[in-house]
Amino acid sequence: MADRVKQALFRRILSGELAPGARLVELQIAREMNTSQGPVREALRELEALQIVVTEPYRGSYVRHVSDQDTLEAYQTRGALERLAGQLAAPFLKGRTQDLRKEAEAIRSAARRNHAEDYAIHDMNFHRRIVEESRNRILLRTWDALSFEIRIRLWLAQGRVDLNAAEADHWPIIDALDRGDGKKAGRLLRQHLMFAIADVKGAVGHPAETEAAR
Amino acid sequence: MADRVKQALFRRILSGELAPGARLVELQIAREMNTSQGPVREALRELEALQIVVTEPYRGSYVRHVSDQDTLEAYQTRGALERLAGQLAAPFLKGRTQDLRKEAEAIRSAARRNHAEDYAIHDMNFHRRIVEESRNRILLRTWDALSFEIRIRLWLAQGRVDLNAAEADHWPIIDALDRGDGKKAGRLLRQHLMFAIADVKGAVGHPAETEAAR
DNA sequence: CTCCTATCGATTATAGATAATTTATGATTG
DNA sequence: CAATCATAAATTATCTATAATCGATAGGAG
């Protein structure tokens, strides 16, 4: 039951029905979902662990605001994780990149249609698949915890990304993985992510990383 | 109150009083701590999020077992995060490595006394400090979530590490940071962690990473 | 003797009610 | 009029009690 509440809140936040800053009152949600305070509390605490919600003692819970700084930091972290994922996944994906190519096609299609929603979905599939194929469960869990389903949507929704430019990055990554060249795949993945936030970076970043990525 | 329960359980697990596999019965803990089931549930769910405890629905919670495979995966992930941390922290630590040297001295002292407990404490301080100085809060949180306080103790307790050999790695890292050479510091940090689990790796790993680290 | 089923004990999961805390509002005093 | 303090409303935090579920065990049928 706690899980159903969690999923429901998750959907409502993703859809924008619950915007950043929205208040989440435990008993009110409990009434809406035909349950009691306990399960709602659990759900909120899990969303808090995912950094989707913030709670202040005796004050209540709110949908978290995501700043440019947060996005930058999250992408830097994600870049470090995916670089490793690429290295680890390459031996397992060598000569077996059909699925990745399918997702890359879908990404290209979405980019040409300028359809941010589809782009986000297939881009997530693409990257998550590589992390899965690293065969490192802790890496996968850590990656999931960054909860990019939220961040990527919130951010693409702002229309600051050139989908067609970013889309092109995926093909060399597939090629490197197909050859089993993990080092190259890792570097390209990291670079891909760093390029993707170059604009945000200019606004809030410090110089060390920007240079390294280019 | 939930937080106090969490801390108490955490301590009892760290001390070994609650060994891996030990059962954690909600009402029983509640009685011991003079509280009720609710706060205990919350505490258990937080420990579950930290991967310290596993819960099966309607069955109960247990202290988690940590396998060699888990340790390897966690260290790989940690290596990726600390490499980034080193890169980001270098500009901020350039010419300001006094604190790190202090911790490195303490690590050396513990290694010479072959005192795993002290070694673990100061090694944690050393590494965490670098992650803090990355000034990337999401990176820090992600790193913390790997809950190495537990893993490092569980593992050092097994006495499979040559403390004096591992200790020596810290000084070149400090030198690189002191020069502001983030790339080098990052590489050394990753290497340091990969060396540290080389033995475990031989048993369970696949070849890709071992080569890259040497 | 084996397999299936009903029942029991233990424990988690949920509900409902109460206590504790915070914020805002309004009264009181200097 | 400003500042302080008491009070009330709203909400979280906790407690107690009940329901739901699981695993084991015992009893009976084949």
Size of interface A-B (CB pairs under 8 A): 94
Per the CB < 8 Å rule, is A142 touching B38? no
- Check whether B25 has a pLDDT greater than 90: yes
Closest approach of B191 to chain A, Cα-based (Å): 13
- Check whether A208 has a pLDDT greater than 60: no
pLDDT score for A138: 94
pLDDT score for B213: 44
CB A80 within 8 A of CB B138: no
B208 near A CB under 8 A: yes
pLDDT score for B206: 47
User: How is residue A180 written in tokens?
Assistant: 């089993």
Residues 179-208 of A with CB under 7 A from strand D: none
pLDDT band at A212 (very low <50, low <70, confident <90, very high): very low
Question: Mean per-residue pLDDT for B35-51?
Answer: 94
- Residues 6 or more apart whose CB falls under 8 angstroms from that of B183 comprise A212, B87
Question: Mean per-residue pLDDT for B70-95?
Answer: 94
User: How is residue A208 written in tokens?
Assistant: 């060390």
Per the CB < 8 Å rule, is B139 touching A83? no
CB of residue A29 closer than 7 A to nucleic acid strand D? no
Protein residue at shortest CA distance from C1' of C16: A36
The angle formed by the CA atoms of residues A159, A164 and A167, to the nearest 5 degrees, is 105
B212 near A CB under 8 A: yes
- Check whether A214 has a pLDDT greater than 90: no
pLDDT score for A150: 76
Render pLDDT for A83-136 as a digit per residue (tens, 0 to 9).
Answer: 999 999 999 999 999 999 999 999 999 999 998 889 888 999 999 999 999 999
A104: closest CA among A181, A192, A182?
Answer: A192
The angle formed by the CA atoms of residues B76, B179 and B84, to the nearest 5 degrees, is 25
pLDDT score for A197: 81
pLDDT score for B201: 61
Render pLDDT for A124-181 as a digit per residue (tens, 0 to 9).
Answer: 999 999 999 999 999 999 999 887 777 777 777 777 778 898 999 999 999 999 999 9
Render pLDDT for A15-66 as a digit per residue (tens, 0 to 9).
Answer: 889 999 999 999 999 999 999 999 999 999 999 998 899 999 999 999 998 8
Alpha carbons B112 and B163: distance in angstroms, whole number:
8
Per the CB < 8 Å rule, is B76 touching A137? no
Per the CB < 8 Å rule, is B208 touching A182? yes
- The Cβ-side half-sphere exposure at B132, using a 13 Å CA radius, reads 8
Residues 19-48 of B with CB under 7 A from strand D: 34-39, 42
Percentage of residues in chain B with pLDDT exceeding 70? 93
Q: Please provide the average confidence, as pLDDT, over all residues in chain A.
A: 89
Give the relative orientation of helices B37-49 and A37-49 as an angle to the nearest 10 degrees: 30
B127: closest CA among B185, B60, B53?
Answer: B185
Per the CB < 8 Å rule, is B46 touching A45? yes
A88: closest CA among B38, B207, B92, B112?
Answer: B207
Nearest CB to A84; choose among B74, B77, B183: B77
Distance of C1' in C11 from CA in B37, Å: 12
pLDDT band at B207 (very low <50, low <70, confident <90, very high): very low
Question: Mean per-residue pLDDT for B117-124?
Answer: 89
Percentage of residues in chain A with pLDDT exceeding 90? 66
pLDDT band at B14 (very low <50, low <70, confident <90, very high): confident
B154: closest CA among B75, B81, B46, B67?
Answer: B67
- Check whether B67 has a pLDDT greater than 50: yes
Question: Mean per-residue pLDDT for B83-107?
Answer: 96
